[in-house]
Structure 1
Amino acid sequence: MTVIGSGIDDMGDFIINGFYSYITNRIAFTKTYRSENTIEPMDANRKIVVQLIWNIQEKRFQGKWYDDRVSDNGKFDLTYDGV
């Protein structure tokens, strides 16, 4: 299933594109910052790869984000509200 969306965080406006697997309960997407709406010029067109798996006990997707451009990564949680 295709995953698409958009949002705003402390770095600026972004769009996401990726997929969700019903079989593995995993989500993978790329978060791309829009160049015209970023806080810092270096964030323009920055791409973050996010890989998540459903945690049934926590009732949320959990995983990591990766940014190869700056050799960085960290934890990522995503709550699903069932809508």
Structure 2
Amino acid sequence: MIFNLIKFEKTICGTFTGTFIICRGRPIHSNNSYINSGVGIGYNISQSIFKSGIFSSYYYQYRSDHGPFRMQLGFYPEGGYIVHGGGTDDIGTYVITGVYSPRTLRMGLEKRYQVGTGDLNENLGHTVIIHVQWNHENQQFEGKYYLRTRKHRDENKFIIRREGGENYHQYPI
């Protein structure tokens, strides 16, 4: 399967001195700030979007597409709109925690890899920050991942799709 992903440019982050520096691999907003900063939609589809189950994830790194990888996500509105789940990808086994907003249809996630699983050269037991927003036209969450370890500083495209949805493979990556 060939994916048509667009590489994102570097993010510009501010410092306390008022000057701007390149902060590759670090999001501008915290997860809570990200999910609340989007524009609300005029209709409520969040119950069909934020439904616990199996999802597929895709990402772009090292000039290559990666995925699909199966992940389990659970959504807990009674717990303050918390997301919890996990899975395994080509880096290793991970746990995902985060927050979501039914108003903006955004998720801010932290993907923590378990040391000693998967690719021992790539899996440093690190955390990847993921910011995604629902794209109604493509029927998927689209956004970016942010990675900062002692070996890598990177950010690029990240997609999450519900598995088993009607014709979900028809939408482009």
Give the alignment's TM-score, normalised by structure 2: 0.45
Give how far 1:73 is off: 1.1
Map of 1:72 onto structure 2: 154
Contact 2:116 2:123 in 1 (8 A): no
Give how far 1:15 is off: 0.5
Q: Secondary structure at the match of 1:43?
A: coil
2:113 to 30, 33, 53: 33
Deviations 1:20-71, CA, capped at 9 Å, x for gaps: 1001100010101001324215523211000000001001000000002221
Please identify the structure whose Cα radius of gyration is greater: 2
Task: Report how many aligned residue pairs link the two structures.
Answer: 83
Q: Unaligned regions of 5+ residues in structure 2, if any?
A: 1-80, 166-173
RMSD over equivalenced CA pairs, Å: 1.9
Map of 1:43 onto structure 2: 123
Map of 2:96 onto structure 1: 16
The one-letter code sitting in structure 2 at the alignment partner of 1:64 is K
Map of 2:136 onto structure 1: 56
**Whole-angstrom distance in 2 between the partners of 1:42 and 1:82:** 30
**Whole-angstrom distance in 1 between the partners of 2:138 and 2:125:** 32
**Whole-angstrom distance in 2 between the partners of 1:25 and 1:73:** 21
Structure with greater contact order relative to length (CA < 8 Å, sep ≥ 6): 2
**Whole-angstrom distance in 2 between the partners of 1:75 and 1:56:** 17
Give the alignment's TM-score, normalised by structure 1: 0.89
More helix by proportion, 1 or 2? 2
More strand by proportion, 1 or 2? 1
**Whole-angstrom distance in 2 between the partners of 1:23 and 1:9:** 30
Q: Secondary structure at the match of 1:39?
A: coil
**Whole-angstrom distance in 2 between the partners of 1:36 and 1:29:** 22
